[in-house]
């Protein structure tokens, strides 16, 4: 597998938009990811994402990502921020600050970075950190899509501790969760820090040697996302529907096309949770589709009956623009195309299903592969 090299702002855009679709509604906003990586590219030059197989077994590698949610703040929360003096950022790239703080706390010297997941911010963001700190970014991620819970990453499913985990927000606050009794509680504590910072922090975690990283990484997913984003852009520029491009590259099928008729959401425990209800148009006229999300899309219903569910992927594209869109960016009245993509094989193994299938989220629904539900 050849190394992925990003050398232009267009390359950054293509990676971010491809990863945004793969983030199935989550993974952070494209605007944040492209801002960070374009700035690093201008300062430090091209970024080369190394084939994970070529990374030294004994060198230390870490994951950096944003933790929290992107739900809009209420006027009361905005006022509270001002009262606490949170007006200007101290850190433009708090991902880098979290990594440096983890090195300081542990005494380890990090050599490589693996994105935690695929998404508009959580894929390009770590690459910006690698450029700015002179580290090696690896072509892959630990999830193969985006996920709401850090413990749903492959290292955690295999039993790798989340801690020590360093947290840094943009205001200048730094904390470390040195040890947690389990990864679920470690993430809960991290989410509390994000909630205290009004929605979002950066965290550095899964500090492991290269030989361990190679057991858990989905190799080549950044290249996959970059090529997807580029192909989608070329289709848009030619005035073509991007849907066939996605289906050709990732497989799957169109699940629904329609208008977002109803949106409900809340932010329990720091997660963006709710439902989108769509009214069909075109070949789906007269039908309804419902999506339950927890940051990302996880459970769907076609005319009230369970349809495609996690760990299979339900991506969403704005029909009028051909651009992927995050769950919190969707608004009532928008026309949306929902695309189902089969899960990666690793996600269908029993230990992964225990953390990813609908029952993990409290639904009395068994996982059925989408090839059987939506052939």
Phi, psi of 261 (to 5 degrees): -95, -30
The separation between the first and the last C-alpha atoms of the chain, rounded to the nearest angstrom, is 32
**71 has pLDDT over 80:** no
Cα–Cα nearest to 171, from 192, 189, 191, 198: 198
pLDDT at 2: 86
How far, in Å, CA of 330 to CA of 272, rounded? 13
Q: Tokens in use for 303?
A: 């005319």
**Model confidence pLDDT, tens digit, residues 247-292:** 999 999 999 999 999 999 998 988 999 999 999 999 999 999 999 9
Residue with tokens 């197989």: 53
Q: Show the domains of the chain with their CATH numbers.
A: 4-219 (3.40.1610.10), 241-373 (2.40.390.10)
CB-side exposure of 25: number of CA atoms within 13 Å?
Answer: 31
What's the CA gap between 91 and 81, in Å, rounded?
17
Taking all residues of the chain, what is their mean pLDDT, rounded to a whole number? Answer: 96
The residue that leads in pLDDT, 71 or 67, is 67
pLDDT band at 86 (very low <50, low <70, confident <90, very high): confident
Using 50, 70 and 90 to split pLDDT, how confident is the model at 237?
very high
Beta partners for residue 48, in sequence order: 5
The Cα–Cα gap between 288 and 143 comes to 30
Residue listed under structure tokens 């997660």: 271
Distance CA(41)–CA(128), nearest Å, equals: 8
Question: For residue range 147-170, what is the model confidence (pLDDT) as tens digits?
Answer: 999 999 999 999 999 999 999 998
Axis crossing angle, helix 94-106 with helix 124-133, rounded to the nearest 10? 60
- Mean pLDDT on 26-38: 96
Q: Is the pLDDT of residue 104 over 90?
A: yes
What would the pLDDT profile of 197-235 be if each residue is shown by its tens digit? 887 899 999 999 999 999 999 999 999 999 999 999 999
* pLDDT value of position 275: 99
Q: How high is the pLDDT of residue 109?
A: 98
Confidence of residue 74 (pLDDT cuts 50, 70, 90): confident
Nearest one of 154, 157, 128, 160 to 141, comparing CA atoms = 154
Residues in the chain: 375
d(CA 208, CA 162): 10
| 71-80 average pLDDT score | 85
pTM of the predicted structure, to 2 decimals: 0.94
Using the predicted structure, report yes or no on whether residue 327 has a pLDDT greater than 80. yes
């Amino acid at each position: 597998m050849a190394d992925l090299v990003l050398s232009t702002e267009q390359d950054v855009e293509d990676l971010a938009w491809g990863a945004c679709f793969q983030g199935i509604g989550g993974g952070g906003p494209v605007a944040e990811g492209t801002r960070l990586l374009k700035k690093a590219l201008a300062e430090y030059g091209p970024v080369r994402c190394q084939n994970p197989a070529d990374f030294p077994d004994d060198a230390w590698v870490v994951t950096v990502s944003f933790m929290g949610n992107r739900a809009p703040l209420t006027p009361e929360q905005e006022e509270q921020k001002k009262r606490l003096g949170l007006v200007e950022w101290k850190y433009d790239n708090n991902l880098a600050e979290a990594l440096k703080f983890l090195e300081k706390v542990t005494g380890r010297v990090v050599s490589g970075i693996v994105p935690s997941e695929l998404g508009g911010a959580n894929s390009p963001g770590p690459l910006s950190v690698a450029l700015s700190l002179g580290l090696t970014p690896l072509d892959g991620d630990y999830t193969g899509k985006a996920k709401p819970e850090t413990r749903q990453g492959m290292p955690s499913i295999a039993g790798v501790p989340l801690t020590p985990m360093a947290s840094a927000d943009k205001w200048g606050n730094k904390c470390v969760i040195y040890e947690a009794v389990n990864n679920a509680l470690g993430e809960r504590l991290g989410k509390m820090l994000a909630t205290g910072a009004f929605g979002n922090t950066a965290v550095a975690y899964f500090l492991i040697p290269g030989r361990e990283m190679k057991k858990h990484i989905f190799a080549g997913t950044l290249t996959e996302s970059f090529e997807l984003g580029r192909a989608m852009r070329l289709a848009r520029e030619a005035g073509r529907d991007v849907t066939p491009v996605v289906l050709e590259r990732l497989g799957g099928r169109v699940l629904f096309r329609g208008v977002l008729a109803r949106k409900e959401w809340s932010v329990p425990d720091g997660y963006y949770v709710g439902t989108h209800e769509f009214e069909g148009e075109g070949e789906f006229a007269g039908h309804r589709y419902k999506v339950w999300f927890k940051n990302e899309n996880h459970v769907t219903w076609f005319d009230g009956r369970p349809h495609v569910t996690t760990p299979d992927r339900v991506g969403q594209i704005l029909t009028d623009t051909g651009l992927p869109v995050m769950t919190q960016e969707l608004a009532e009245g928008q026309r949306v195309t929902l695309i189902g993509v089969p899960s990666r094989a690793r996600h269908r193994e029993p230990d992964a299903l225990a953390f990813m299938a609908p029952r993990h989220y409290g639904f009395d629904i068994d996982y059925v592969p989408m090839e059987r539900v939506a052939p």
